[in-house]
Structure 1
Amino acid sequence: MSNSTFTSRPGAVGSPPEHYGNPFGEQRTLAAGESIVELADRAVITITGPDRLTWLDSLTTQSLAGLKPGESAETLLLNPNGRIEHAMRVMDDSEATWLLVDGSEREALAKWLDRMRFMLRVEIADRSDDFLTLGSFGDVSLPAAVSNDVPLVWSDSWASIARGGHQYSRAEQHPGANWRYQETLVSIDADLSDYAASGSLAFEALRIAAWRPRFSTEVDDRSLPHELDWMRSAVHLNKGCYRGQETVAKVHNLGHPPRRLVMLHLDGSEGALPEPGADVSLGEKVVGSVTASARHFELGPIALAVIKRGVDAAETLSVASDIGEIAAAQEVIVPTDAGAEANVPRLPRLGAVKR
């Protein structure tokens, strides 16, 4: 069965179609750049005014002050303790900065930014109802909306370590190395009838296989960027101060993240997939939870999970499901010894000195 084509446009942030009848085929065409995915669960916020980039730079984890028109970046907003509060995909058109975010962030992020304006020359606007966000891979040509002569296309940098970033994964071949993904804003009334469509399940399977974190799935109220290997694309370690920077620096240089993101290869013999939030256990002990799961057209049933850092990477885990426990083999994303990059020598304790 071939992929469907787009037939209607929602007028606000909602739920995208999960599939069009052929999830595996939709994965293949999406990965090959032969279809696009409707991301109706995304939102768009703009910041205008001459202080917009330096202001956003001072608040978030990425170096944005020098972002040029048409360039793309990714940044996180942390709380004072370094926990992730928002994740933003960023582009600028020389007069406005465009933030592409998950729909669940829409209202809270816009309100927070508006409260933080103080006397600065910035204005915040929610533009979610004016645009549809489309996801694609490769060189798909889409009717992108244009602002100040700049096409509104955000290109993901996940394929390599961003400038100023750091990768905890030690994989010889990172599965995100070929992640040529982009998000395009099109007018809400754009004619997309000529484009093949893939559902959100296809995109989720490809995202999980690439170890790509997402705010609405991998983040909870305790999440640190280090735990999700999000230092790779969204944190600049050598920029100026921002909220939560002290925690980021301490964990990276002196400590270890308390949890770690892992990909799980699930036993598919029973045909079940765990739901987000399902317990991940080692023996009788719960050691984490599933954040997302999917059936991949090549890898089979897979999932992302956040587990305790000290869990032995060689251990086979089990995941709760409606039909019982599912065996799960780990593929390490964040190693158990991630962090402590400063290699500060330890001094002997005074009590251990022989007299």
Structure 2
Amino acid sequence: MASLFSALPGAVVDDGGLQHVGNPLVEQRALAAGQAVVPLSDRAVLAVPGEDRLSWLDSLTSQALTSLAPGVSTELLVLDPQGHVEHAASVVDDGETTWLIVDRADADGLLAWLRRMRFRLRVDPRDASDEYAVFGGTAAGLGRVEAARPGAVPLVWTDPWPHIAPGGWGYAPVDPHPGAGRDWAEALVTRDEERRIADAAAGGDLVIAGLAAADALRVAAWRPRWAADVDERVLPHELDWLRTAVHLSKGCYRGQETVAKVHNLGHPPRRLVALQLDGSGSVLPGRGAVVRVGDDAVGAVTSAALHFEDGPIALAIVRRSTPVDATLLVDTEDGPITAAQEVIVPPEAGATANVPRLTRLSRRAPAK
């Protein structure tokens, strides 16, 4: 993928975009401290203008959107009739248009589905990726790159994770949640502004980080993402995604019956876990790497990263019956490595579950 940032010293670019600029660990620190921003070329932008846009999206998706105020950030899921996640989007409205930030691999499918569902309503969804690029970072970091829109609502989506949104529900039993201090936002900037940002970075006036740094911070916060954690079977409950992407008491939408039944009467068949991987981190498991208890395969890795404080970490989806105290094995190219698991979604997750609070596992040094 061509990138305006390819010429930066140390830049490594692949089909997904700018992966890093020489030192992903340093880039993570800079991102977390608000000293850098990351060009999110793996994102696409969909625009949904029209008078009926919010009530229309409300009727189709898991999120309550009819009364969404301009500038307020949320996210939505599109589910199939059985409640499996088909599409996901970050959402912000500017009073005239609803803007959806989506994983690029999901953009065409989501846009085609939205256009099929218009019927006679006053909506006109389109792909706006040629008009806008997406940059990520802390609120302070993005203050340096926001597009100038005098008198208009800034096109900035602030990640609500891991706070439980109105109508949502949290399963993770740890206290504090590792994403509790998460400061992450994504800004839409015009393509002209993107070139200005690239020139500023080339001149040393702006620090740029890569996608690898952004993803490591996401994994450490247990934050689900469509491109990484969603397969054809996944339910939002399995990823603890009821927190921010599902409104449990809104009107009808496709898949709602399954969402309510699993939450109120049953348990998710699988569950997301966080893994602290043994070893130096020189070899990380790939997406889909088998997770085992002994010789028994119980799940697969969805994401893995080398974090600047926690070391080698991963997220994985395992069977609900996997013992929460079991030491897991993860297959890699260099053979299996051991992994300590942290509970994100408890086996007994549901509306009536009484789950004890757990202390976090962490390699981070205690605060002084």
User: Normalized against structure 2, the TM-score is what?
Assistant: 0.88
8 Å Cα contact 1:256-1:340 kept in structure 2: no
Equivalences for 1:276-287 in 2 at 5 Å? Answer: 276-287=287-298
Could you say which residue in structure 1 is the equivalent of 2:311?
A: 300
Could you say which residue in structure 1 is the equivalent of 2:145?
A: 143
CA distance in 1 between partners of 2:158 and 2:286 (Å)? 30
Could you say which residue in structure 2 is the equivalent of 1:349?
A: none
Could you say which residue in structure 2 is the equivalent of 1:272?
A: 283
CA distance in 2 between partners of 1:16 and 1:302 (Å)? 22
CA distance in 2 between partners of 1:16 and 1:325 (Å)? 30
Distance 1:296 1:257, change over 3 A: same
Paired residue secondary structure (2:18): coil
2:220 is equivalent to residue 209 of structure 1:
yes
Higher strand share: 1
Stretches of structure 2 that go unaligned for 5 or more consecutive residues are 9-13, 355-368
The root-mean-square deviation of aligned C-alpha atoms, in Å, is: 1.9
Deviations 1:65-110 (A, max 9, x none): 0011111111100000000000010011111110100001111111
Deviates more, 1:155-164 or 1:324-333: 155-164
Measured after TM superposition, the shift of residue 238 of structure 1 is 1.0
- Tell me which of 153, 170, 175 is aligned to 1:172: 175
CA distance in 1 between partners of 2:50 and 2:209 (Å)? 37
What is the one-letter code of the residue matched to 1:139? A
Could you say which residue in structure 1 is the equivalent of 2:361?
A: none
8 Å Cα contact 1:47-1:123 kept in structure 2: yes
Q: Give the number of the structure whose alpha-carbon radius of gyration is greater.
A: 1
Distance 1:308 1:239, change over 3 A: same
Could you say which residue in structure 1 is the equivalent of 2:237?
A: 226
8 Å Cα contact 2:281-2:311 kept in structure 1: no
Could you say which residue in structure 1 is the equivalent of 2:85?
A: 84
State the percentage of identical aligned residues. 54
What is the one-letter code of the residue matched to 1:123? D
What is the one-letter code of the residue matched to 1:45? L
Could you say which residue in structure 2 is the equivalent of 1:133?
A: 134
Measured after TM superposition, the shift of residue 148 of structure 1 is 7.0
Equivalences for 1:1-355 in 2 at 5 Å? Answer: 6=5, 15-140=16-141, 141-145=143-147, 146=149, 149-190=152-193, 191-192=196-197, 193=200, 194-269=205-280, 271-341=282-352
Structure 1: 4+ residue segments shifted above 6 A: none
Could you say which residue in structure 1 is the equivalent of 2:363?
A: none
Measured after TM superposition, the shift of residue 189 of structure 1 is 2.1
CA distance in 2 between partners of 1:159 and 1:336 (Å)? 20
8 Å Cα contact 1:142-1:184 kept in structure 2: no
Could you say which residue in structure 1 is the equivalent of 2:365?
A: none
Aligned length: 336
Could you say which residue in structure 2 is the equivalent of 1:353?
A: none
Distance 1:57 1:75, change over 3 A: same
Paired residue secondary structure (1:88): strand
CA distance in 1 between partners of 2:236 and 2:26 (Å)? 33
CA distance in 2 between partners of 1:202 and 1:151 (Å)? 25
Distance 1:21 1:257, change over 3 A: same
User: Normalized against structure 1, the TM-score is what?
Assistant: 0.91
Distance 1:91 1:148, change over 3 A: farther
Measured after TM superposition, the shift of residue 112 of structure 1 is 0.5
What is the one-letter code of the residue matched to 1:161? I
